[in-house]
A and B are shown apart, each in its own frame.
Chain A
Amino acid sequence: MSRVRSIPRQHLVAGLCLLALVLYPVINPWQPYPQGVMLLGFMLAIQACSWNIISGYAGYISLGHSMFLGLGSYTVAILAIKWGVNPLWLIPLGGVTAVVIALLIGSVVLRTRGHAFVIITIAMLLAAQIFAVNFKGLTQGSDGITLELPFWDRDYQNIPFYYIFLSLLVLTVLFTAWIRRTKFGTGLIAIREDEGKAASIGVNTTRFKIVGYGASAFFIGVAGGVYAYYLTFLNPVGSFAILGSVVIVLAALTGGKGTLYGPVVGAFLVQLTSEAATVYGGGSQTRVLLFGSALVAVVLFMPAGLLPTIEAQWRRRHPVTVEYTDQAGALGHGPATTRERALADVAVQADGQSQGDVLLEVRGVSKRFGGLVAVDNANLTVRKGSITALIGPNGSGKTTLFNLITGGMTADSGEIYFDGQRIDRMKPWERGHLGLGRTFQITRLFKEMTVQENVVAPLPDSRWRTMFADAVSGHEAARARELLDIVGLGRFAGERAGALSYGQQKLVELAQVLMLEPRLILLDEPAGGVNPSLLGRLTGVIRELNERGISFLVVEHNIPLVLELCDPVVVFSRGTPIAEGPPGMIREDPVVLDAYLGDDWRPAPVDDAAKAVRASTHRGVH
């Protein structure tokens, strides 16, 4: 009994529903009509769950997903007639065709970000219809294709289809659940939440999206093959119907896009409502109006969908007490550890002579935004094993330089080398895979993901094995927990990242970067918003990581911290470095005092009182 209780409630309910659905034809075998309604519900659920992979997880809305159903139907029907075999043997090929077409379309349109995808999905659905009408030799045009009747007895004709669709539905749900558990799944959600940030933590966003689109096509293609045999007739208008896509979107949206069971629940709601409307309402003429109004209503009044809305209400009634950062835990934690990539550098350093080799080199890099020159012919080197600081007034181009180094932007001119390799033309994730990580000035966590998922999401390399590694349990998750403990947030692993305070989010972002197994970490104002005692821990962590071979480039306005932690210090002004040297030298450099530090930092003047007055007015101005 206790084992049953340990299963999460939602899976328990789903299991019971499945049991009831499996038993239904046994209890009530001679009723083809309700079985027919149910099996169409299963088919819609298969489509909605599949759609959920690209549009729910990755957030790229497809308005043409019913195309894959048509592709599966046509593939199976054409081959069944050509080879003279039963269509059911060929249904996997329906899935294969759908995946191949999805990968082809995806590799054209998903290389870019944003709005092109949704346009393409509509266009391709309509184009498929035109192809099916006009390639008469293959598809018999508008006349359509007629298949042989199923070989089993008419008395129980729907039952085999019922079980086939039900099994396919179970497989689809398991498939989407598995994807959600892998780093591939966390990557897709990361893309939905913040695509630029996802790329910076090693997620090959192009590959993830294309594979996600392909994965979202397979089971629909298979179902399409079965559907063709169920109908025994298919034509272009029926197979590539835009209304088919509408109900997919409507089902997933109603139930809750991005959730596991939402699309299934939504599919049954939509299917049963639509059936009722056809029987009691004005027939199929009014269905467009019905579905359109439903879509508008769901978007306006319940955009999150049914299951998340119910869950949110349940949470409101059963609030969880808020915990604070495990300060003692964080402060008391053992030394921070790193993985092999950084240690390899240490090994090199141990030889003695290579301390101080150049790790990152920026040569003559410039970046303009219209008339504004943000970075102007800048040169910068970061040596292996150093904690280099980059300071300078606001707007001097520090963050832009960070973006150029990590690939968030491309430079207009100049070259950037990382460990001898030229990286300025590489994609952000490729730079991440080389061991280049960064945090952001204003934290960019994936707010809808849990803290643990945030830390698991980064990919240190481009191997497929890493991409499909388990993100929920196993060594990746264990490593994430370990990193969270280092920054003292282990207890928050299950919380939504957006619920954390700003300072806590900064720490999570550091843990996230460490997951990348970096050799160089670019920290953009790490101290901003972190309380003083945790700041002590933060600098401690940075020092420990540095001793273990990780180099740092730090942008920070907290000058005492910079002078204490970093060596060398580079001063940036108007898009280019104006001074570089050990902290002691920088704080006395007149050029730096004029450009950035100001009179507060000028070596002690004769009259202390005058200095105090001057300092206070100075602060007042700022």
Chain B
Amino acid sequence: MTQLVQALALGLLIGGVYALMASGLALIFGVMRIINIAQGALLILVAMITWWLWRKTGIDPILASVITTPLMFGFGWVLYRFVVSRIRDQSASMSVLLTFGFALVIEGVLNVVAGNRFRSATPSYFEESFRMGGVSLPKTQVYGFIAALVVLAALYLILTRTWTGRAIRATSQNPSGAALVGVGAAGTAALAFALGTATTGVGGSILSVLYPFFPASHYDWISRLLGIVVLGGLGSLPGAMVGALILGLAETLTATYGSLRWSTLVFYLVIMVVLLFRPQGLYGAKLREDAV
């Protein structure tokens, strides 16, 4: 029983972190119909930056997201303005290839600069846990979860309470309608891309304490995130939240009761099952199908 509660609690904690990481992917897809394959690589990039900051200055890795988040916001904005926006008129497949190319470039740069070995940020509380009854919750997981919730709440407020956020949501629902009422598609897209990239600022900082990472681990991460957004429905933010929680729980339960080796496969399995029975995902809206 304790084991089950433990697994559920850990699944929930990690699910919250996944939700944050997947929200950027869902946001970017929702507004631009671009699957940002580089999202995983950006996470690893931030994790590396965080690790370096922690090493040099001793700053708490999770708190370092105060630095990395604006950094990634700017990076995303520049990336969109000067690179991604150039292929707006091309087919969707080209944007997938472009972001795939980004992912490889980031991996390659990290390989050259930081070397191909595992790293992990280990602050003082790294091995400590909160104990409640028989359940022990590692402090890193709890702090990571709290940080993720704070950022998700901020993201929610930005999207619902600010003009920019409403413009982003309007564009994702109906680009031409949004343009008609004075929402510039290009500017909104740049902001959405920047916001989506900024979520990797916090996500990557949390990742650096939760998991060991090396340049090529971005493939694991992007496939997790893709599994989440496919389950939730591509481009749906609430879907990404729910999908992240379900998959976080499924992963910890598999690791607890099955085997750690197979827990990663849960994501691939979920992708297949969802596509087989509910291709639009849990929250995927049926769009108007005619293309006239």
Contacts and interface: CB of A to CB of B under 8 A. Distances in A.
B283 to A, nearest CB: 15
Q: Main SS of chain B's interface residues?
A: helix
A109 B223 contact: no
**Top 9 closest pairs, chain A to chain B, by CB:** A289-B108, A292-B104, A295-B101, A296-B101, A292-B105, A288-B108, A127-B268, A112-B279, A61-B93
Contacts of B104: 246, 288-289, 291-292, 295
B272 A108 contact: yes
Contacts, number: 148
- Which size class do B's interface residues fall under? 35 or more
Interface string B198-227: 000000000000000001000110110011
B75 interface: no
A293 B98 CA distance: 10
A516 B88 CA distance: 35
Interface of A: 55, 59-61, 63, 108-109, 111-112, 114-116, 118-120, 122-124, 126-127, 130, 133-134, 194, 196, 242, 246, 249, 253, 282, 285-296, 299-300, 303, 369, 399-400, 403, 408-410, 440-442
A133 B108 CA distance: 25
A59 B102 contact: no
A78 B259 CA distance: 26
Nearest to B84: A300
Contacts of A133: 261
A403 B292 contact: yes
8 contacts: A60-B93, A61-B93, A119-B230, A242-B219, A300-B83, A300-B86, A300-B87, A303-B94
B264 to A, nearest CB: 6
A126 B87 CA distance: 28
B91 interface: yes
Nearest to B108: A289
Given A122-B219, A408-B291, 5 more contacts: A115-B29, A116-B230, A118-B96, A196-B291, A292-B101
Given A108-B275, A292-B101, A119 B226 contact: yes
Contacts of A285: 111-112, 116
B288 interface: yes
A300 B95 CA distance: 10
A286 B108 CA distance: 6
A47 B288 CA distance: 37
Contacts of A303: 87, 90, 94
B106 to A, nearest CB: 8
B103 interface: yes
Contacts of A63: 37, 96, 100
Contacts of B268: 123-124, 126-127, 130
A440 B292 contact: yes
Contacts of A409: 288-290
Contacts of B37: 63, 122
